[in-house]
Each structure stands twice: as structure tokens, then as C-alpha cells.
Amino acid sequence: MTDETKSTEDKAPVAEPVDRTVTTKHTIKVGGKELKYTATVGTIVIREEVDKEGHKAKAEMFFMSFTKDGTRNAARRPLTFSFNGGPGSSSVWMLLGLLGPRRVPLAKDDNVRLSPPFHLTDNEYTLLEETDLVFIDPIGTGYSRPLSGEKTDPDEFFSFRRDLDSVGEFIRLYISRNERWHSPKFLIGESYGTTRAAGLSGHLQDRHGLFLNGIMLVSVVLNFQTILFHHGNDLPYVLYLPSFALTARYHGKLAKKFQDMDQVAFIAEVRKFAETDYAAALMKGDRLEAREYDRIAARVAAYTGLAESYVKGCNLRVEIMRFSKELLREASLSVGRFDSRITGIDRDDVSENFERDPSFDIVHGVYSACLNDLVRRELKFESDLPYEILSFKILPRWKYSEHQNSYVNTAETLRNAMMKNPHLKVFVANGRYDLATPFFATEYTFDHLGLRGAARENVEMAYYDAGHMMYVNRKSLSALAGDLKRFVKRAS
């Protein structure tokens, strides 16, 4: 026997990957009543058809599902699939902040950092009252991983299209294996999860004939042109202005007449200026006359709390990171991107941008600790892999090949899905202090969706005095949870 032959024969066969799940029973109290539910967590293998090779295992996807016990005709109960954004985020945020039967503790004040250790509590606002819940961790997040192999690209699923393929395949598998094709079906996504949800609305219809009852969008970005501050793209400067103005007002940086004005009237005034005089001025560019330039700069400064000289130094165009650093610079504070009510302290007071988002600092530790405790101690799933709460490795590797030389925009996919399925309803949740996905940008997107006829009545907008993750505040958590429950009832 030659060394070459021996080497080949000594190779151990690669074990075929298999699903690994754990099921447990639980009880919580909601509104003074017991709610009994079954939790199933684990990984399922995503296989795809490969020419001449049959079905090939491509990835393992981690999920957590919660189904209410004692339900008559459970196969017809509403079913909701949830995911967060990033790209690169696990499903932990809405799982433990808003939807699931257990939640993280809440601080009494929005700007307070809770002290570790952190402990889970029953979620009296859980959507499990109205719908069964499945939380999906896209590949590369949570415990979801691509499978290794000679022909496997480790970054294969880090793209707009392959993300839709894998999440859509998981949804199809879960519905089929659990006999839920008769259930009213919903998606809920947050941030990039709204981009994914809109993309899936078309993908699930076209690929699997799976028509949805409703989509819940939390902190929306469907059209990336509305949030990317690129030279030559004046749209974000207009669409961020109302959020900048509310932020400055919250921190007491405006003139007394604006501080004392009714909030609804104040937002309406800033909106009107933004979409008329301000938008027209930016469109004129270098043709803008000096007197008009000065007038616009004064108005922008008055609404944003920034010095008029600073606004002029930015050529009337204040970018988000500059605003976050400049607004409270004299107090040596920066304001958050996810929630502009939250402030933080940087090492350098004269830098152009903040060194980190203080509104992410407030939630990162508590959600991470509570998730790891929930999975292993309460739900009994064991893995020595690190649970990727938010993977910053994925974002720079993410590919938008289908959108070369254009902005990512899934609004058209959503419009097409809603026209094909006139029963598809959409709920949109906006945080007034969200500087990641500002509410005026969301309004712009839906105002340009191009829905025709009765389909326009299928979109519902709601607003909360909160940031990107509006559920970290008890008042907005209660309001959002109530709105979602009513939406699921109506759309079912």
C-alpha cells in the first residue's frame, strides 16, 4: 500500500450534520393570569439543491420558538417570525425587549445604566398572547453558522440575496414541519430586519407561494438613499431635520418659543420647512443667493440648536455624526444614534464624531447576559460557541451585488407584494428620537411607495417618544406592544 493510498483510506468520513433541538415547558403571568407555553430552541440544517449532488447541507440556523399551550386548533393560530437587523444582528433585541415571554429589566430613567448582574423577568407585554413566535438568527449571528466544506465560501450568506434565500428557506421548513400552512402568518423586523422583511414579502410569495397576512416594521429602512449621507445625495439632510430638531428640543437647546411649543405643532413646522424652503435651497446648490443662504442657515440653526456659523461651515448640510457630537459639545457630551436622548462622554471633546454610541452601551451588556442565561439555564440548549449578539465582522463583508451603482431599496418589492396580495397589511413603528432610521425618512419612503386603490389603506403608521429600540422605555414598550397586538388581531 502506498503512502498516498494509506492517507486517503485513513481519512475519517465527515458526519452528516443533523438538527439539534430542545423542548421545554414554561408558565408566566400576564395580566394576573397564567400563560402556559412550550419553548423549542436549537439549530436546523439548511440544505439546498446542488446539481449532480442532490441536496447539500449549507448552514445551521439557530432559532427559538414559543407556542401557547391549550389553544384550540393550534394549527390555525397566528404565527410570527421575528428577526433584527445589522446586517450582523441576532434576534435578541426584540426577543428580550418586546415580544418574547421573558424580558430584560427596565431602567427607571432612559439615561440610566443598569448595574450588573442582570436578571430576566416575565414579560407582561408579550405578543405570545396573540400569536406564536419564532425568532430567527440569520447565518453568522447567534449560534447560526455556515457549514465548512471544500466548495464552501464562508461569506456566501453575507449578502442581500443569499440572506433572503436562507431566512426564506428556514421559514418554509418551519411552517411545513410544524403543519402551520393554515395559520395566519406574519413577519416582524427591526432596522435592517425591515429591509429583510420587505424583501421576504416578495421572495416568499414568488418562490414558495407563501402569502402573508401582515408585516410589522420597527424602525424602518427600505430605501437606503434616505439615510446615507453621500456627496450629491441631499435627501438625508432634509429627512433628518425633524429628528435633529426634536433632539435639540429634548436637550433644551432651542429658543424659548420652540421649547414651549406643543410638540405636534413644532414637528409640523419643522416638517414644512424641511420639505419646502430647505429642500429647495439644497436643490439650488451653488446657485443659492447669499441672502437666501443666510436665511436658510438661520432657520436650520434655530431648529437644530447648532451655531449658525457651524451650519454655514457645513454648507447647510449637517451630517448625523457631526450633529451627535456638536449639539452638546460645550457640555462635553455626545448624543446617541440609536436614541438621541441618551448622552455619553468621549475622550476627545473636539473630535468630529463620537467614539461610540452611548445608546448602544446602555443595552449591550444587559441583553447579552440575559440572552446567554435564558438559552442555557432556562431553555436548556447547550453550546460552547459564542452567541453572536451583534457581529461587527459581518457588516464590512456584506454584499449588495443586486444593487450595484444604486441604493438598496426594497420598497418596490413590498409594493409589488401588497398589490399581488390585497389582504397584506403593514404596521410601521417610528421612534421620534431615532437617528439611525428617522421617522421623516420612513414617511418619505411610504409616500413614494406607489400603492394604488384600497392597498393604501393597508399601511398603518405609529409614533413613540423613544429611539430606535423604543421598547427599552416602559411607556413606549406598553404602547408599542398594545399596537402590535391590535394589529395582529385585525390582520388575522
In whole angstroms, give the CA distance from residue 373 to residue 378: 7
Q: What pLDDT, on the 0 to 100 scale, is given for residue 1? A: 42
For residue 130, with 0-12 CB atoms within 10 Å meaning exposed, 13-18 middle and 19 or more buried, which class applies? buried
Q: What pLDDT, on the 0 to 100 scale, is given for residue 392? A: 83
Q: What is the CA radius of gyration of the chain?
A: 24
Spatial CA neighbour of 56 closest among 159, 158, 149: 149
In whole angstroms, give the CA distance from residue 354 to residue 301: 21
Q: What pLDDT, on the 0 to 100 scale, is given for residue 8? A: 46
313-364 per-position pLDDT tens digit? 999 999 999 999 999 999 999 999 999 999 999 998 888 889 889 999 999 9
In whole angstroms, give the CA distance from residue 463 to residue 451: 22
Spatial CA neighbour of 465 closest among 344, 357, 303, 339: 339
Q: What pLDDT, on the 0 to 100 scale, is given for residue 155? A: 84
Q: What pLDDT, on the 0 to 100 scale, is given for residue 2? A: 46
Under-50 pLDDT residues of the chain? 1-8, 150
Q: What pLDDT, on the 0 to 100 scale, is given for residue 6? A: 47
User: Which cell numbers hold the place of 128?
Assistant: 405570545
pLDDT more than 90, % of the chain? 79
Per the CB < 8 A criterion, the answer to whether 342 and 112 are in contact is: no
In whole angstroms, give the CA distance from residue 48 to residue 51: 10
Bridge partners of residue 40, in order along the sequence: 23, 65
Q: What pLDDT, on the 0 to 100 scale, is given for residue 320? A: 96
Q: What pLDDT, on the 0 to 100 scale, is given for residue 419? A: 94
What residue ranges define each of the domains in the chain, with the CATH number in brackets? 16-46+60-225+363-491 (3.40.50.1820), 229-356 (no CATH)
Per the CB < 8 A criterion, the answer to whether 264 and 348 are in contact is: no
In whole angstroms, give the CA distance from residue 492 to residue 480: 18
What DSSP character marks residue 352? S
User: Which cell numbers hold the place of 22?
Assistant: 430542545
What DSSP character marks residue 76? G
Q: What pLDDT, on the 0 to 100 scale, is given for residue 7? A: 47
